[in-house]
Chains A and B, each alone.
Chain A
Amino acid sequence: MTRPSRHLLTRPPARLAGLLVAAALVLTACGIGAPTTSGGTAFAPELAPDQKVTITFESYNLSQAGTWTDTFNELLGEFSREHPNITVNAQKPQGTSPNGVSNAVPSVQAQLVTGNPPDVAQLGFGDLDFTVHQLGAKPLDDLVGRPAVDANFGGEHPYAPAARTLGDWEGKTYGVPFVFSTPVLYYNASLFAAAGLDPNTPPRTWAEVKTAAQAIKARTGRDGSYVDCVTRVANDWCYQALVESNGGSVISDDRSRLTFGEPPAVGAVAMVQDLVNSGAAPKLSQAQAYPQFARGEMGMLLESSSLQGTFQKGAAGKWDLRAAPMPSFDGRPTMPTNSGAALFVLSNDPAKQRAAWELVQFLTSDRAYTTISSKIGYLPLRTSLVDDPRYLQPWAARNPLLAPNLEQLSRLQRWQSFPGNDYTRIKDRMMAGVESVVFQGADPTATMTAAQNEAAALLPTTR
């Protein structure tokens, strides 16, 4: 056996060490961080009839095999038949997170560093500020002209008014809203009946949720409710819906000040804490909670419709899955926010930009939404499609789960993105505070005020 310490202590001759340091210094001198400036965005002319273009499209919906990937491959196949001169290379974000959504922005950032970003990227609304200011998303108004952008939002089945501006930032349209959900209260009608509750009148306020959940816990032994909005993993979109429904906000209107430590925002967190403390909600992680609901072992779950397919599969033939609108704070109108993502054009080449725009138009068309909504469960942002028998009407008639989600679309609030390079750390700080209040019983006011003060130091203006 050799002694490890001898190896660690072995030293190269001093001359050699000097040589190594010198070499490293010389190599470093060529430097990091020489910024190049980019000018404004010019108009991207129409493609010539015989012009061949190849573009890359990056979407987190391609990172999950099965329904998501199949649906997207089907759509891209249709696009290439319609546009034989445009070749689309579809790819999923690179990264380590099993949740493809979390990989989306880091993946684009990494490719930008190497100078080769995807031409079209599907990026979350919570990353909008960073996408516009740092990832260099192209303003579509400059790229293809305001009338063309408006025409795409219009058409026979126009976008829901609340949805069409979600990809706008500082007066320009950067992203075309693509796939998202609002917070929906899924509930297990079979458990409701077993607990002696009326499955046809789901809770409408959080106070009613608490009563119903306690009844389910007491009479069936199953967990009553879970609000999947109060952990770091859940991200902050539906936490923001809770805060705004209680009259609060997470950031001031002029985006200079954080506000999630103020009383209305704290009140929303205290409500969820009370659900947990009173036994109406279990202490579970997201990864534990939604499979438990899918197994039919939980009464209610506030969740995005992107998991609707999972619940339907779990419920089929075993229990009665139903959906209700997000509960309110004592009857005050709810302010549902959106999850999900928009499509952004990142290309710098005019021909690719035009080809990218063609792809964006196709993916947000009546036909594409018919495929996406019926196969994945996302909201059809062109809402009147559900009344058109040529498109989603037959599907909507069979799917009562869609109604609450669609109704909330009319009252949609923007999912606020935080500013600056540290926006994810601000979000993490905030959600870590929320998590410790709800699940570790920390004092709501003290914890959220401290989290706000800590996060405030990460805002770009104070640097």
Chain B
Amino acid sequence: MTLLVEVPPPAPAPAAEVPPARRSAGRRLVGAAAPYLYLAPALALLVVWTYRPLLQAVQLSTLSWNLLPTSPATPVGAANFREVLTAPELGDAVGVTALFIVGLLPFTIVLPVVIALSARRVRGRARTLYQALVFAPMLVAPVASAAIWQWLLDPGSGAVNRVLGLQVNWLADPTAAQVAIIVVTGWHVLGFATLIVSAGLGGTDDEYAAAASVDGARPRQITWRITLPLLSPTLVFLTLMTILLSAQWSFPLVDTLTQGGPGDATTSIYYLLWEYGFRSFDAGHGAAAGLVFFVVFLAVAWVLVTLSDRLSFHDD
């Protein structure tokens, strides 16, 4: 009945049980090194492509330099970090990012749960079709869908205004642009989130619900008291994904639809970071901003992972 299988610690390798006295020092060394040798190719790639660039970013963040071999790299100490943390646009970008996260939660938690729960009543082929339809937006390239949304959101001849009977200038008004980005991003990730919730539901045990209904529980009670608690690890995971990745999910849409505007209304921290790193030629400043965001997200992820163990109900 265990749903979450704890992987037992690997059994000690048989070689380690052989009395050491009977083996030469050289063979012992080879034996001890073997697992590391197996790991070496993967670790080498990890070091070369992840940890080394990370350390180089630290080094770069203390320089004022445009990366060009003909230009001097001037050490500036912590000046880049001071600049990043005191930049007036940083506060706005954090606010926009928080807004995106809160705005996206209905699309990554509420709607997927509703859709997945109602999809359970659909049976057979219709269910597959239903799931495929919900998942479809995820398969459309964001930049391509952004181009279509740009037409749909056109204030004059766009379909959105005509259907809703509104006169909203979606991409040129700050609040409307934020709403538009959230809804289009939500439309995009909804299928993915629904898929995760469906998988989570598939992993819960029907016997609890069956037992509860034998005891006279109503479907509503079963959903609230049994299904949702059993689903909590999935929901916490989706919350974590939303908090950490909202700004990334919305990036291609922001880049194509609003370029961070109007004003700074849709400049999230990722868009700001991209502007620092790739629109200006101040590599040190970009690296400093990247590191600050890295550390902050690391802290956020750590807090969330710790919380997730407390908040989730595990059917161990």
Residues of A near B4 (CB, < 8 A) are 1-3
Q: How far is the CA of A440 from the CA of B312 in the complex (A)?
A: 44
Residues of A near B3 (CB, < 8 A) are 1
Name A283's contact: one of B44, B54, B68, B172 (CB within 8 Å). B172
Residues of B near A9 (CB, < 8 A) are 305
Name B52's contact: one of A3, A16, A24, A442 (CB within 8 Å). A24
Q: Tell which of B10-18, B131-139, B206-214, B278-286 binds the partner.
A: B278-286
**Residues B172 and A2 in contact, CB atoms below 8 Å apart:** no
Residues of B near A424 (CB, < 8 A) are 279-281
**Residues B172 and A285 in contact, CB atoms below 8 Å apart:** yes
| Total contacting residues, chain B, CB less than 8 A | 71
**Residues B72 and A20 in contact, CB atoms below 8 Å apart:** no
**Residues B52 and A432 in contact, CB atoms below 8 Å apart:** no
**Residues B64 and A5 in contact, CB atoms below 8 Å apart:** no
Name the residue in B5, B71, B276 with the highest tally of chain A Cβ atoms < 10 Å from its Cβ.
B71
**Residues A8 and B305 in contact, CB atoms below 8 Å apart:** yes
Q: Which of A372-403 contact B (CB under 8 A)?
A: none
| Total contacting residues, chain A, CB less than 8 A | 62
**Residues B68 and A113 in contact, CB atoms below 8 Å apart:** yes
Residues of B near A113 (CB, < 8 A) are 67-69
Nearest CB in chain B to that of A287: its residue? B150
Q: Which of B97-137 contact A (CB under 8 A)?
A: none
Nearest CB in chain B to that of A36: its residue? B69
**Residues B262 and A1 in contact, CB atoms below 8 Å apart:** no
Q: How far is the CA of A432 from the CA of B88 in the complex (A)?
A: 13
**Residues B305 and A115 in contact, CB atoms below 8 Å apart:** no
Q: Is A134's beta carbon under 8 Å from chain B?
A: yes
Q: Tell which of A25-33, A54-62, A78-86, A193-201 binds the partner.
A: A25-33
Contact with B along A420-461 (1 / 0, CB 8 A): 011111001000100110011010000000000010010000
**Residues A135 and B68 in contact, CB atoms below 8 Å apart:** yes
Q: How far is the CA of A130 from the CA of B68 in the complex (A)?
A: 11
**Residues A32 and B56 in contact, CB atoms below 8 Å apart:** yes
Q: Is A23's beta carbon under 8 Å from chain B?
A: yes
Nearest CB in chain A to that of B264: its residue? A432
Q: Which of A2-60 contact B (CB under 8 A)?
A: 2-5, 8-9, 16, 19-21, 23-25, 27-28, 31-38
**Residues B234 and A285 in contact, CB atoms below 8 Å apart:** no
**Residues B309 and A288 in contact, CB atoms below 8 Å apart:** no
Q: Is B193's beta carbon under 8 Å from chain A?
A: no
**Residues B280 and A1 in contact, CB atoms below 8 Å apart:** no
Q: How far is the CA of A96 from the CA of B39 in the complex (A)?
A: 36
**Residues B154 and A231 in contact, CB atoms below 8 Å apart:** no
Given A5-B305, A20-B51, A439-B172, A33 contacting B261 (CB threshold 8 A): no
Contact with A along B165-209 (1 / 0, CB 8 A): 000010111100000000000000000000000011001000000
**Residues A23 and B199 in contact, CB atoms below 8 Å apart:** no
Closest 7 CB pairs of A and B: A33-B73, A1-B203, A24-B51, A436-B263, A283-B172, A425-B280, A28-B55
* Complex A-B: 25 CB contacts under 8 Å: A1-B203, A1-B233, A4-B237, A23-B44, A23-B47, A24-B55, A32-B59, A32-B73, A33-B60, A34-B73, A35-B70, A106-B281, A112-B69, A112-B70, A134-B71, A134-B281, A136-B70, A284-B155, A285-B258, A424-B281, A425-B280, A425-B282, A436-B262, A454-B88, A463-B64
Name 4 extra pairs, CB < 8 A, besides A19-B43, A457-B83.
Answer: A3-B233, A33-B59, A283-B172, A425-B276
